[in-house]
Amino acid sequence: MTIQEINKAYNRIIGSLDSRELKNAFDFLQGFIAGSREYSFQDKLDEAQETYRYMLRYRGEGAKDPMQEQIYNNLVASAYELADLVKHKALAIESPLVYYSHRRNLQTQQQMSYTNLHSMLSTPVGIVKEEVRFEAGLIVLFHKIWVSNPLTAEEVAGIQDILTDTALPTSVGAQTVSALMLGLQMAFDKEKLMLLFDAASLDNEEIRVRALIGILLTLCKYRKRTALYPQIANRLAALDEKTPNLTKAIRTIILRFILARETEKITRKLQDEIIPEMMKLSPKISKKINLKDFNPEQLGDEMNPEWQEMSSLGKKMEEFSELQQEGADVMHSTFVHLKNFPFFRELSNWFMPFTTSHTAFGDRFNKDSAEKQMLDTMTTAGFMCNSDKYSFYFSMMQLPEAHRSMMMNQFDSQANEMIQQSKEELISKRGKEEIITGQYIQDLYRFFKLYPSHLDFEDIFTSPIDFHNLPILQPYISDEESLTTIAEYYLRKNYFSDALIIYNRLSEHIQGSDILFQKIGYCKQMGGDIEGALEAYLRADLLNTESKWVIRRIAGCYRTLKQPEEALKYYRRYETLSPDNLSAQISIGHCYLELKNYNEALKYYFKVDYLDNKSHKAWRPIAWCSFLTGKYDQARNYYKKITDSQPDTQDYLNAGHTEWALQNIKGALSYYKQAIEADDYDFNKFREQFIQDIPDLLVAGIEENEVPLMLDQLQYTLDDTSNR
């Protein structure tokens, strides 16, 4: 079988199992084994099928087996696992993916047991030779776990010993957890997941947070399988008992993953808006002010007049600052091009907790203690993830020592103090666990987006990461506070369909909140479900009849649904609450226009024109209603104003109709010609619009037999113009 055929056969089996079509899955597995010639798995399949036949036969005889559900779940679980085994065995030799390449490489090398690796990693560091050996052992450990087959009891015990050894550096546990997570992304292994639960119960915050993220990602990827393993639910319950703030931790992870979805938007905003404006203003500003003197103590209350041109940039920078405080990934665009250092060729290094003692730095940052302190302060105070910190340090290494020293000297002790204060404020505001969560998710984002062979991995950030929708997690994340917080976050980031799912869940238990139904309506409206939005808005209106916002939304929905009479009722209600709101006044006029009550519509349009004599937004509807009511001179006056300002194709067309109704054929032809010119001389498009207006022309007294003559005359006029 080709690699494509292997993946197709595997996906067909998984699809059947996800749908709980076990007989089909067994049949597809039989074909998969035969096609891949992996007959060593035939006995396992035969055994599973025989058990299933016995179970069905027993059931068919009317006997009730209290173990039936458990037997069935075990069969489905074993079918999933068997499909995984066959797939990996079939791809082991041929697949060019990094995962299988590393498996093949490890098989050609002398295998080290987890016990031996544990001993190797326990060697005291401090001597360069020993540190090199330690880092090499850590890489071997990472790869061994990542590409391993389902773990045996002996292997599990060996990894548990490593995780629980508090004498080992944090990097060992952190890398072990990352390897387990990455391995689980390639193939489900209950034992690897149980090891993540072990790690999530440890006291070390870095390891614990990474483990919890790994657990959630695994549960999300294998959401159809988790109910088959009672141990998972049991371990979650045990973890909840041991972790007082588990709900808060899960909620934080969910919010950080939502923020991760914003990374590309933020990058584009920086590259397309903020940085270009800064570049544009930089030369002028740098001449006007001395940046070295720019500190809080020397700033007065007055605004520099020179800065008025920075108003738009100021708003963008304020938004950028808010995103930064929120924990958004604002540094991705800065470091996206700084991942080409040799350090990043090693896959495991993308997950490595940051340390200046890594041998990749040599002793460059240990000679000058002041320089090292400054760099340490900058990296701990900022919003850099571990991966970006390595990038930053490697970039500094590229600078000549004199340039680096000069750069460091620009940061005086006051700047150092400010950075340290910023770090302390950040930790107190967001908490250490929240910072670790954000940094690790950013590390994952960079790996799945920027690792040289990242296309060999299924990008977790392109799949739905909706932990709150997983049935197995709902006991821990279904409280009103959590769901409301997550929904509000989705809403604020314009992920309306995601927010709607949660708001609908909340509405099952909260019936008396008009705000909740307002938000349901808004999400539905933004998703294009106008009827559903209207239903929710009407529900909100019943709960609170004084909300002007809801009344306007209801009216707007009725207008969109082509029910102007109903829309008018609500615009009238709104008018009583805000008598001089011009937008509502013009909307009422539109409703009357759609109801063909042109005289009433004109009253409102004139009112808008009188109250707002600057925007002229009422000119067009006044002109058209005047035409429809036979007030052609009035229509002519308004179309003259419109065509003298900023006319479009429709304005010229309507002005032509008005001149024709006034028997000014020459004037009508002139306006029609301008309409065609405004549309790049597309006569066919003009003709379509013209034909739509024929009923109104007939009402205006134009003879039906005059219509084709006007169109022909117009074409001759165009031909004469083009031939000159």
Given the structure tokens 């079509």, which residue do they identify? 21
Region 120-149 average pLDDT: 88
Give the phi and the psi of residue 367 in degrees, each rounded to 5: -75, -50
Structural contact between residues 703 and 677, judged by C-beta atoms closer than 8 angstroms: no
Structural contact between residues 348 and 141, judged by C-beta atoms closer than 8 angstroms: no
Same domain, 36 and 179: no
Domain boundary among 64, 95, 126: 95
The alpha carbon torsion through 701, 706, 710, 711 (nearest 10 deg) reads 110
Evaluate the CA torsion angle 540, 542, 548, 551 in order and state its sign. positive
Is it the case that residue 361 has pLDDT exceeding 90? Answer: no
Same domain, 108 and 231: yes
Contacts of 396-400 spanning 24+ positions with Cβ under 8 A: 397/361, 397/364
Same domain, 118 and 207: yes
Residue 503 lies in a domain: no
Same domain, 85 and 144: no
**182-239: pLDDT as tens digits:** 999 999 999 999 999 999 999 999 999 999 999 999 999 999 999 999 999 999 999 9
* Better pLDDT: 721 or 650: 650
Closest by CA position to 353, among listed 386, 329, 330, 325: 386
* pLDDT recorded at residue 71: 94
Region 451-479 average pLDDT: 93
Where is average pLDDT lowest: 5-19, 223-237, 266-280, 463-477? 266-280
* Better pLDDT: 420 or 497: 497
Number of folded domains that form the chain: 3
In angstroms, rounded to a whole number, what is the distance separating the alpha carbons of residues 684 and 339?
55
The residues, ordered by sequence, that sit 6+ positions from 214 with a Cβ below 8 Å of its Cβ are 177, 178, 180, 181, 184, 196, 199
- H or E stretch covering 713: helix 706-723
Residue 391 lies in a domain: no
Give the phi and the psi of residue 524 in degrees, each rounded to 5: -65, -40
In angstroms, rounded to a whole number, what is the distance separating the alpha carbons of residues 540 and 413?
57
Same domain, 144 and 174: yes
In angstroms, rounded to a whole number, what is the distance separating the alpha carbons of residues 476 and 319?
33
Closest by CA position to 85, among listed 21, 46, 40: 40
Residue 453 lies in a domain: no
Is it the case that residue 636 has pLDDT exceeding 70? Answer: yes
**29-78: pLDDT as tens digits:** 999 999 988 889 999 999 999 999 999 998 888 878 888 999 999 999 99
Residue 484 lies in a domain: no
In angstroms, rounded to a whole number, what is the distance separating the alpha carbons of residues 262 and 286?
32
**293-313: pLDDT as tens digits:** 333 333 333 433 333 444 455
Is it the case that residue 425 has pLDDT exceeding 70? Answer: no
Contacts of 683-690 spanning 24+ positions with Cβ under 8 A: 683/715, 683/718, 686/649, 686/653, 687/711, 689/649, 689/650, 689/653, 690/653
Closest by CA position to 353, among listed 375, 334, 332, 380: 380
* pLDDT recorded at residue 416: 57
Region 604-612 average pLDDT: 88
Same domain, 201 and 106: yes
- H or E stretch covering 217: helix 205-221
**588-600: pLDDT as tens digits:** 999 999 999 999 9
**434-443: pLDDT as tens digits:** 999 999 999 9
Residue 194 lies in a domain: yes
What is the CATH classification number for the domain harbouring 638? Answer: 1.25.40.10
Residue 47 lies in a domain: yes
The residues, ordered by sequence, that sit 6+ positions from 391 with a Cβ below 8 Å of its Cβ are 335, 338, 339, 341
Domain boundary among 234, 260, 286: 260
* pLDDT recorded at residue 131: 87
Same domain, 80 and 142: no
Region 146-174 average pLDDT: 96
336 pLDDT band (50/70/90 cuts)?
Answer: confident
Structural contact between residues 465 and 358, judged by C-beta atoms closer than 8 angstroms: no
Number of Cβ atoms within 10 Å of the Cβ of 12: 17
**560-575: pLDDT as tens digits:** 999 999 999 999 999 9
* pLDDT recorded at residue 356: 82
* pLDDT recorded at residue 129: 78
* pLDDT recorded at residue 721: 73
* pLDDT recorded at residue 320: 63
Same domain, 31 and 72: yes
Domain boundary among 196, 227, 260: 260
Same domain, 250 and 205: yes
Residue 424 lies in a domain: no
Same domain, 120 and 256: yes
Residue 245 lies in a domain: yes
Same domain, 182 and 64: no
* pLDDT recorded at residue 107: 79
**What is the average pLDDT score of the chain?**
86
Q: Tokens at residue 614, please? A: 């600057």
Is it the case that residue 723 has pLDDT exceeding 80? Answer: no
Is the pTM value of this prediction over 0.75? Answer: yes
Q: Tokens at residue 459, please? A: 């990008």
The alpha carbon torsion through 154, 160, 166, 168 (nearest 10 deg) reads 60
Same domain, 86 and 119: no
Give the range of the structural domain holding residue 13, as residue numbers without chain letter: 3-95
The residues, ordered by sequence, that sit 6+ positions from 544 with a Cβ below 8 Å of its Cβ are 514, 550
Q: What is the DSSP string of 74-89?
A: HHHHHHHHHHHHHHHH
Given the structure tokens 């205006």, which residue do they identify? 700
* pLDDT recorded at residue 331: 80
